[in-house]
């Protein structure tokens, strides 16, 4: 049903315009008590066997909304209403910025993928922090906050920019993510080099601890799929060294070759980060490598090309405690989280594992 609606309506709209329209509908539905109760009952059924604990936080299940959909923390309850077990907002920058010039979001429908060069368009950390502070939650859900560098801030001042965001946003975050892996902010990916990443993560950790003294805000880093294997290993080792709580694998890719893309060559040549189904194999490969390196010492979050319950189950067996999706939501619509949860619960029941936690990393731990 949704696929027909998408083909007849959304596919004819500019992708960014369609995004804003869908977000408004979701937010409005979440404001109407009877309607949101009905929608949540239909789209967000709970499965006891999927209950998950990650970095000390309890969640209804392992499946959340990746950063990028709700940049400004305006649709948290709406996305929880649709069944996402956690919602990661952002990316939020130290200062407000409009992002890159339009047109900056492209659908590769034949590949079930997106290309974006949004450029961290957001209201800035001060406004988003105020919005989170004034929020009265309708649905209980874990809220992650993803922070990045303001575009006009030079690389040598990046640490201070991240620290500003961390100090403002950590009090309102169930967990905090340092994004150094978007391809759409010049120089940002250079911060993934361990020599740059160590002082950045250390400073953000200290800022979060200063801002929140009553609890420890979990800190994660989000990495790119385009890192060389030895660099993935280096980030994993650094995360263990610094006592990070998690690594998110992965962000979008700048690669185009070798992905089997069948969409129009004109679209494929658009610059920006590619997300969706073509990213599946590399994201899974990076996840497996991370788990082989860090084991259970750090919580891993698998994202990139997660379309189905089978995809989510594969990520869990590869080492992910949590799984996220975004691009597939555009193509699957409001039943995305519901169908994924249903299928994931079925796979767990059919598996040899008593709990979801038992399944985490099982494929990587198998003797070869």
**Known binding-site residue numbers for FMN:** 67-71, 91, 146, 179, 222, 250, 276, 305, 326-327
Query: Under DSSP, is residue 123 helix (H, G, I), strand (E, B) or coil?
Result: coil
Query: Under DSSP, is residue 343 helix (H, G, I), strand (E, B) or coil?
Result: helix
Summarize the annotated binding site as residue ranges.
Answer: 67-71, 91, 116-120, 146, 179, 184, 222, 250-252, 276, 305, 326-327
Compute the Cα dihedral for 16, 146, 336, 224 and give only its sign: positive
Q: Exposure pattern of 219-236 as b/e (b: 16+ CB <10 Å)? A: bbbbbbbbbeeeebbbbb
- d(C-alpha 141, C-alpha 234), whole Å: 33
- Written as one string, the DSSP assignment of 199-268 is HHHHHHHHHHHHH--SSPPPEEEEE-TTS-HHHHHHHHHHHHHHT-SEEEE---B---TTS---S-HHHH
- d(C-alpha 146, C-alpha 335), whole Å: 25
Check if the beta carbon of residue 311 is closer than 8 Å to that of residue 339.
Answer: no
- d(C-alpha 253, C-alpha 264), whole Å: 18
Q: List the catalytic residue out of 182, 202, 263, 264.
A: 182
Compute the Cα dihedral for 279, 327, 63, 142 and give only its sign: positive
Summarize the annotated binding site for substrate as residue ranges.
Answer: 71, 116-120, 179, 184, 251-252
3-class DSSP string for 12-70: HCCHHHHHHHHHHHHHHHHHCHHHHHHHHHHHCCCCHHHCEEECCEEECCCEEECCCCC
182 is catalytic: yes
Q: Which residues are catalytic?
A: 182
């Amino acid at each position: 049903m949704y696929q027909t609606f998408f083909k007849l309506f959304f596919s004819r709209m500019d992708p960014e315009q369609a995004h804003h329209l869908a977000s408004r509908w979701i937010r409005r539905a979440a404001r109407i008590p009877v309607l949101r109760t009905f929608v949540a009952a239909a789209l967000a059924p709970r499965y006891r066997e999927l209950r998950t604990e990650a970095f000390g936080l309890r969640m209804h299940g392992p499946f959340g909304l990746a950063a990028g959909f709700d940049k400004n923390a305006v649709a948290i309850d709406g996305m929880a209403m649709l069944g996402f077990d956690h919602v990661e907002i952002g990316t939020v920058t130290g200062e407000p910025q409009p992002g890159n010039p339009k047109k900056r979001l492209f659908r590769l429908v034949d590949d079930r993928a997106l290309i974006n060069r949004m450029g961290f368009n957001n209201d800035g950390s001060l406004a988003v922090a105020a919005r989170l502070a004034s929020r009265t939650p309708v649905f209980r859900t874990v809220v992650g906050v993803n922070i990045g560098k303001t575009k006009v801030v030079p690389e040598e001042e990046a640490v201070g920019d991240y620290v500003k965001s961390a100090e403002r946003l950590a009090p309102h975050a169930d967990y905090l993510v340092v994004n150094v892996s978007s391809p759409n902010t010049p120089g940002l990916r250079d911060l993934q080099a361990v020599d740059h990443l160590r002082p950045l993560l250390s400073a953000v950790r200290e800022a979060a601890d200063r801002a929140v003294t009553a609890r420890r805000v979990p800190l994660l880093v989000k990495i790119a799929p385009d890192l060389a294997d030895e660099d993935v290993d280096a980030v994993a080792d650094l995360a263990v060294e610094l006592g990070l709580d998690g690594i998110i694998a992965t962000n979008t890719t700048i690669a185009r070759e070798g992905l089997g893309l069948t969409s129009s060559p004109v679209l494929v040549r658009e610059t920006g980060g590619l997300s969706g189904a073509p990213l599946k194999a590399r994201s899974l490969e990076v996840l497996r490598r991370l788990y082989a390196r860090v084991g259970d010492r750090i919580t891993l979050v698998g994202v990139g090309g997660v379309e189905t319950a089978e995809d989510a189950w594969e990520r869990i067996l590869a080492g992910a405690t949590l799984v996220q999706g975004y691009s597939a939501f555009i193509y699957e619509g409001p039943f995305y989280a519901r169908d994924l949860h249903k299928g994931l619960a079925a796979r767990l029941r059919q598996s040899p594992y008593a709990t979801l936690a038992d399944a985490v990393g099982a494929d990587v731990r198998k003797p070869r």
